[in-house]
A and B are shown apart, each in its own frame.
Chain A
Amino acid sequence: MTARVEWLPLGHVTHGYRRVFVVYENGILRHVINLAHMPYESVFRVKQLATAARVDDSSLWWGLSVIAKLVSDGTLLSSENPETADDGYLQIRPQVPSPDELLPLSVYRVAVKKNALCFPLERTSQCEQEGIYGGHPTHQ
């Protein structure tokens, strides 16, 4: 079972951004998730978390990190969470992440290059047991 996360172009809301992600499970569109609002200041703080490395689109880095965690920890799986919206549409106001909640930059950069973040879902629990983020995606 695999997950694939794609995203729409960056959007603006008052004093911040919004990001829309589309989540596919085994090639089937399962969720459209709107992250808003992502304040400019918070996005800038996330950018600073990259320290020495340069991140051109820190709202995408932050957003992908949120979605990857939601997917990998099973929050979005309807089989595990019957309360998940029937139409697959979710709106979430993301909390400013701590450094350990962000995807590794190497993973983020591969996703940007491929225009999608892909990872196998079966490995999630194993990753959690190994203490890797709570299911950090790895690339196929």
Chain B
Amino acid sequence: MNEFAATVNATEYPPHQKHKVIFQTFDNLRPGEAMLLVNDHDPQPLHYQFELERPGIFSWEYLERGPETFRIRIGRTGA
């Protein structure tokens, strides 16, 4: 069974759609599920956006932290 319910490779989307796609994907997760985010830079601003817009219902774990590829496990911890 796949560890991730969904994967978003942010490098495949134009800048104005990246965060929208990521949040849509996260919102479709069920509690306990996780998504994999792949990016070519550290998405720290996105992390802060999650803190502001999805407080208390997500987890954030770096699986790979650069220098060229960043892979983050974003889990849904609450409804």
CB-CB contacts below 8 Å: A37-57 with B: 39-41, 43-44, 47
- B52 near A47 with CB under 8 A, answer yes
Chain B residues contacting A41 (CB-CB under 8 Å) are: 44-45, 48
Counting CB contacts under 8 A, is A14 at the interface?
yes
Smallest Cβ-Cβ distance to B44: which chain A residue: A41
Residues of A within 8 Å of B, CB-based: how many? Answer: 11
A16 to B53, CA, bound (A): 12
A14 to B17, CA, bound (A): 11
A38 to B51, CA, bound (A): 15
- A58 near B52 with CB under 8 A, answer yes
Counting CB contacts under 8 A, is B49 at the interface?
yes
Chain A residues contacting B52 (CB-CB under 8 Å) are: 40, 43-44, 47, 58
- B48 near A44 with CB under 8 A, answer yes
- B51 near A44 with CB under 8 A, answer yes
B19, B45, B51: the one contacting A39 at CB < 8 Å is B45
Q: In the complex, what's the smallest C-beta–C-beta distance from A43 to chain B, in angstroms?
A: 6
Q: In the complex, what's the smallest C-beta–C-beta distance from A114 to chain B, in angstroms?
A: 23
Counting CB contacts under 8 A, is A139 at the interface?
no
Counting CB contacts under 8 A, is A15 at the interface?
yes
Counting CB contacts under 8 A, is B67 at the interface?
no
A-B residue pairs in contact (CB < 8 Å), sample of 23: A12-B19, A14-B15, A15-B45, A16-B45, A39-B45, A39-B48, A40-B45, A40-B46, A40-B48, A40-B49, A40-B51, A40-B52, A41-B44, A41-B45, A41-B48, A43-B48, A43-B52, A44-B48, A44-B51, A44-B52, A47-B51, A47-B52, A58-B52
Task: Name the 10 nearest CB pairs between A and B, nearest first.
Answer: A40-B48, A15-B45, A40-B49, A44-B48, A41-B48, A40-B45, A44-B51, A44-B52, A43-B52, A40-B52
